[in-house]
Chain A
């Protein structure tokens, strides 16, 4: 899978799911929730970000609570999240839900906000489209690769049930 987009960089480590989507918004319609995405760090982020943009973050992005905070990121139309590393539950919930998440040590140094990049999950690399520079991304572990390539847990299960 290849995705091209403009980078929004959140250089902090340990951005929790509570910061991605505060629990006080958990009962609201998903489109409403998304308007508050990451508001504690950048109150205007949801307004400024465009569909197809790519979020870049530090270590342990999405740590903490197992809530489906990834849904807020998806609702904003964000094409992918590339981070130094991810919180375990958030990473897998995202893949299941169909949000493209890629671990990529060194990504913070490699990019700045506004850069155009190409994420290639097959080759496993991030390419800065302005400079042509390439950074290798971490491979998906085991079954998660197939799930990510198919677009989530539902298509994965569909394929599996069809093959039986």
Chain B
């Protein structure tokens, strides 16, 4: 009997299965040893107490794959309150005592740092305890949020992952001047909905994706989370290999999808006529053209996050703000996604442009996106942001979040109301 075609993601999982596997069925769970297991420095000391008790009960003294474990101080860092400071302290002590690498509070977001440091290569498995882990599938890795499994990873260096069904999203065409990859991501999020790829993986392909930079491929893959997917994927090509070339130090293997692989669903988009998009409160799939909400006043504009906190995002905002000022009634906060992004934007003069325009530039990190600090909203306030999601209460109880592209966010910061970026480009 001829075997059914397999997806690259399934081949990556089989390669990392213990014992190694020659085949896998969608839905089947495999015992996987990931190349990277990453966690955030926690926000609660009690959670750590539980973990320590559990590890002691299981008789785990040392973590087996110490050089594969990384801890990120990206949520609420530097600590905005005594409570979070105390939690960070306890967790930092826990990791340091066990020889685990921990980033400092200004290094940035795990999803940016791991690929930047060459720890995410094509064909690798990345297990990170954060919902936006699919972002790193842009490199051609199987990057899935740890969903249950933290204890197994600490105890055994392994966890159970299921081989997901895979949906294909084909994107063709060329964007108009005032439309960006984030608009494409929002549009697809709106069309497919929050359950559009529930429990499945999603692969992005097509002529639009082929011509896309790595920064924007990360943006696209980040959105996979908001349609419920377990992992996002872009087949590595010359753009990928150029990008990882100077970063990845270990040998890696690019896996291909068999030509006869049967995708669960295929969705095709032509984005040639797409206009700038927003996701209105309170759902990331409540998407409409910016025109429909233009003029809505905003109290805060925010650029940052693992969705849209990269160099290209800052460049677009700086180009719009050059020679202009942020509207006096608006806080425009820029949180670079990583120190590498912040340093590049500084070196190239974009941070100076933002300062000139009265923008508030913070340290790199998750910033206000998870609602912990650095731009929490008051009840009744309205924000336009290019953060990951706009659930009710995420950045402050009783506030409204409109998600948009960095260009739309910057144009709105200038006007003090939701504005299309067209006249600034």
Contacts and interface: CB of A to CB of B under 8 A. Distances in A.
Interface in A58-80: 59-60, 63-66, 68, 71
Query: Number of contact residues on A: which range applies?
Result: 35 or more
Contacts of B372: 23-24, 26
B83 A93 contact: no
A59 B29 CA distance: 24
Given A29-B46, A96-B151, A141-B29, A66 B145 contact: yes
B304 to A, nearest CB: 16
B259 interface: no
Interface stretch (B194-202, B287-295, B313-321, B341-349): B194-202
B148 A147 contact: yes
B103 interface: no
Contacts of A16: 391-392, 394
Interface in A20-37: 22-24, 26-30
B195 A60 contact: yes
Contacts of A142: 27-29, 160, 162
Contacts of A14: 194, 283
Interface stretch (A110-118, A120-128, A154-162): A154-162
B264 interface: no
Contacts of A87: 228
Interface string B150-189: 1110011000101000000000000000000000000000
Interface residues of B, number: 48
B54 A154 contact: yes
Contacts of B370: 23, 65
B265 interface: no
A108 interface: no
B301 interface: no
Nearest to A67: B43
B199 A93 contact: no
B397 to A, nearest CB: 7
A40 B147 contact: no
Nearest to A96: B148
A153 interface: yes
B389 to A, nearest CB: 6
Contact of A154 (B57, B130, B230): B57
A19 B155 contact: no
B44 interface: yes
B47 interface: yes
B194 A26 contact: no
Contact of A93 (B29, B45, B147): B147
Contacts of A40: 392-393, 397
Nearest to A89: B147
A19 B393 contact: yes
B206 interface: no
Contacts of A19: 391-393
Contacts of B150: 96, 153
Lowest 6 A-B CB distances belong to which pairs? A96-B148, A92-B148, A92-B147, A27-B83, A142-B29, A26-B43
Interface of A: 14, 16, 18-19, 22-24, 26-30, 40, 59-60, 63-66, 68, 71, 85, 87-89, 91-97, 141-144, 147, 153-154, 157-158, 161
